[in-house]
Structure 1
Amino acid sequence: MKYSINLFGYNVDCELKLAGESLGIEITDENQKALKQYLVRVLPKYGREASSESSFQTLLELAIDAEKTLDGRMVEPKLKLPYEFQPEIKEKLIEAAALQDMSATQLLIRIIEKKYQEVIG
């Protein structure tokens, strides 16, 4: 079953797998890379040392530790984009973001990350 979960303030598309009474979660390599990039970007905001050389496991452990010390959940940093969009593009971006239950900035970051992975990966 396809499902979107929020891990450390980042929405990740995943596949829920049931084997009898056991539940498992599968996240594609592409979504794992995007989550890793997100954690590298966000963890320093919560006082955790993180770099792109850090292992995925280390980043997850740091994120879990950070959330345990918070009163809530980690959140994606809010960015003020340094440029304006045409009104009709901005409306489409806001509408698409609302459908995915995220901010327009978060959606734009996700689109850029996916395109970056296509080009670099």
Structure 2
Amino acid sequence: MKYNINLFGNNFDCELRIQNNALTIALDEDNQKALASYLSRVLQKYTEINPTENNSLEVMVKKAIQVEKSMGGRMSEPKLKLPYEFAPEVKEKLIECADLQDTSATQLLIRLIDQKYQEVMNTN
């Protein structure tokens, strides 16, 4: 079953699977990359993270869980005012898509840019 889940203050599409009365949650490869990219930006605000280290998704998720447990809430992405302008119809589409995904337009834009960057740079 497809489901949208909030992980560490950001929404991701996932697959809920039930087998032998056990529930598992699976993120596809693109969403795992998006989560890793998101955590690499957000964790810097809350804890020491060395960008030169190879921080695996597992390490970053563990750090994110520790941070959220200690703060008693959800992390949030640092706010950044981007100097961009859109035609009104493009801005409306961006906001509509963001609302449908229960995220902010800025978060959606960052996710799209990150996905395109990975595609163009062929980073896996």
- TM-score, normalisation: structure 1: 0.92
Give the CA deviation at 1:50.
Answer: 4.4
Specify the alignment match of 1:118 in structure 2. 119
Alignment partners' CA distance in 1, 2:27 and 2:42: 20
Give SS of 2:15's match.
strand
Specify the alignment match of 2:61 in structure 1. 60
Unaligned runs of 5+ in 1: none
Give the CA deviation at 1:71.
Answer: 2.7
Specify the alignment match of 1:27 in structure 2. 27
Give the CA deviation at 1:78.
Answer: 2.1
**Cα distance change of structure 1 residues 50 and 14 upon mapping to structure 2, 3 Å threshold:** farther
Unaligned runs of 5+ in 2: none
Give the CA deviation at 1:7.
Answer: 0.7
Alignment partners' CA distance in 1, 2:12 and 2:50: 20
- TM-score, normalisation: structure 2: 0.90
Question: 1:79-94, aligned counterparts within 5 Å?
Answer: 79-94=80-95
Alignment partners' CA distance in 2, 1:12 and 1:42: 15
Root-mean-square deviation (CA, aligned residues, Å) is: 1.4
Specify the alignment match of 1:46 in structure 2. 46
Give the CA deviation at 1:91.
Answer: 1.3
Specify the alignment match of 1:104 in structure 2. 105
Give the residue type in structure 2 aligned to 1:21: N
Alignment partners' CA distance in 2, 1:61 and 1:91: 37
Pick 1 or 2: higher relative contact order, CA cutoff 8 A, min separation 6: 2
